[in-house]
Structure 1
């Protein structure tokens, strides 16, 4: 798909450097390798989309099918936007919305009637981007964890 000089397409194994660069920008502590990308590309239950402007990588969307319960949804499977990123200098120009639209097309083709996503409670920018792309907030959750190395009393 091409929109306003931006091409959005499914990633190829040869896109590994661009994918890894965008993924690290989204998740700073993320180690990515070609084998991981190839695995995602081979799975029917996931998709990796890249956006390019003038041949340069500018955006990323990764999505999967979730068959377990997804907060705020009422169907299964649910398309789930696992990660979504547009380089800062091009935000607000519709690239993120176009990536979400392509993920929604993919999810519909997989038999989904809902697309879900999440973001951190303190990430107001991501929350605004989700709303601008058509998502509706369904609930807020705080997760907890307790280490089990030492007994608690």
Structure 2
């Protein structure tokens, strides 16, 4: 049986992947306007020491997965060190899920964070996003705490 990952290339995002990057972001965060996606991509490209993104491409050159990362120096809930590598977003196209794409993207993220002096990688998700919580646990993340945020208009 052929390895389903044999034909998938994991490439750091670069200008050649901008359309793919935008498309994957739109799939992950469909309520975010296209111009905001572009602003966030531009901000990430402007600070390569602080941000990274890796894109999984299939053999036909189609983008099938994305992981976006940041180095956070502020306190990150549940962590014990600073700086912390933070998974800002992880997406794998539905037809490529459960084939190891997320594991490979996470491996690239771990190496990137280690290269920047991090000893912890963190992430978060909404309390009602059970699919994401299950994926985090399957990828080896441990839950550290649950938080409900409040605000008050002044």
Question: Which of residues 144, 148, 152 is equivalent to 2:150?
Answer: 144
The structure having more radius of gyration, on CA atoms, is 1
Over residues 10-52 of structure 1, what are the superposed CA-to-partner deviations in whole Å (9 max), with x where a residue is unaligned? 011121110000001101122322x643431231111011000
Residues 86-101 of structure 1: pairs in structure 2 closer than 5 A: 86-101=92-107
Does residue 53 of the first structure (1) align with residue 58 of the second (2)?
Answer: yes
Query: Where does structure 1 differ by over 6 angstroms across 4 or more consecutive aligned residues?
Result: none
Structural mapping, 1:3-152, within 5 Å: 3-30=5-32, 31=34, 32-33=37-38, 36-43=40-47, 44-54=49-59, 55-148=61-154
Counterpart-to-counterpart distance in 1, 2:113 and 2:140: 15
The TM-score, its normalising length taken from structure 1, stands at: 0.90
- Greater strand content: 1
- Distance in 2 of aligned mates of 1:145 and 1:38: 29
TM-score (structure 2 length as normaliser): 0.89
Aligned residues: CA RMSD: 1.2
Give the count of matched residue pairs.
Answer: 145
Q: Deviations over 1:65-94 (max 9, x none)?
A: 000000000000000000110011111111
Mind listing any 5+ residue stretches in structure 2 that lack a counterpart?
A: none
